[in-house]
Amino acid sequence: MRLLVACEYSGAVRDAFIARGHEAMSCDLLPTDVVGPHYQGDVRHVLEGWMPVQHTMDCDPEDTGYCGQWGLMVDECFCPGPTQDEMEYTEVEGRLFARPVKSPHWDMMIAHPPCTYLASSGLHWNRRIPGREALTEEALEFVRLLLDAPIPRIALENPVGRISTAIRKPDQIVQPWWFGDDASKRTCLWLKNLPALKETSRLPGDDKTRRANQTPSGQNKLGPSEDRWKLRSVTYPGIAAAMAEQWGG
């Protein structure tokens, strides 16, 4: 299966699917935290099944047979080269992309659009900071773009927030502690041609139980820092594994 993981730099979901034999590529404006198939750029460039073409000078400059960019042996890299048969090519903003002729589109996309201007926890600032409401509307348009992508199976995740009222209610809300991770983080899933996730390793307790990532008052334990948003946005491994096992079967 060809899978696009949109707006992911951690590699958590991407690598969970790769471990099960799928062709998965993550995409984000940020570089990937873990070496692996990743396009650093605008997801609009790759939504229709395109992948960046890897030249030898980029992938294996020392001619060792090892792809330094993706952490794979060159013959295991599924990223297309510049002259392969059965591939079609296009150029976008000076970058060459390719996709297989026989299966040009992604089979599935799992998307994690930024929640800064969408999550309920921050929407109160829209009434206090001029221009912030416009940023929320811009974020909603991006969500609509992802949900309307020409991909047969789509899962989009975000915290509880504006998507539920401006677009539609989620198909499911999950918690990391349903999948073996001692953490509380209500995560909404909007699904297209995919079943709801089934719990795998539910931990004792309920929604009122204080988890390892929470203070006694129920707030997130992470203190203010420049990368706090980044740490909080990473998909928990139990949920990533459940996605790969249940949706990648």
pLDDT > 70? residue 196: yes
Mean pLDDT lowest for which of 26-40, 55-69, 88-102, 112-126?
55-69
What's the CA gap between 19 and 31, in Å, rounded? 21
Q: Which residue has the higher pLDDT, 179 or 59?
A: 179
State both tokens at 182: 């001692």
The predicted model scores a pTM of: 0.89
Q: Is 243 helix (H, G, I), strand (E, B) or coil?
A: helix
For residue 206, the model assigns a pLDDT of 93
For residue 193, the model assigns a pLDDT of 98
Residues 114-123 as b or e (16 or more Cβ within 10 Å = b) = bbebbbeebe
Place of tokens 């297309």: 80
- Cβ neighbours of residue 222 under 8 Å, at least 6 residues apart? 213, 228, 231, 232
For residue 203, the model assigns a pLDDT of 96
Which stretches of the chain are assigned E, i.e. beta strand? Answer: 2-6, 23-28, 38-40, 51-52, 66-67, 72-73, 87-92, 95-100, 108-111, 153-158, 172-174, 187-192
pLDDT > 70? residue 163: yes
φ and ψ at residue 51, rounded to 5 degrees: -130, 145
For residue 176, the model assigns a pLDDT of 96
For residue 224, the model assigns a pLDDT of 59
Residues 133-146 as b or e (16 or more Cβ within 10 Å = b) = eeebeebbebbeeb
For residue 129, the model assigns a pLDDT of 87
What's the CA gap between 249 and 242, in Å, rounded? 11
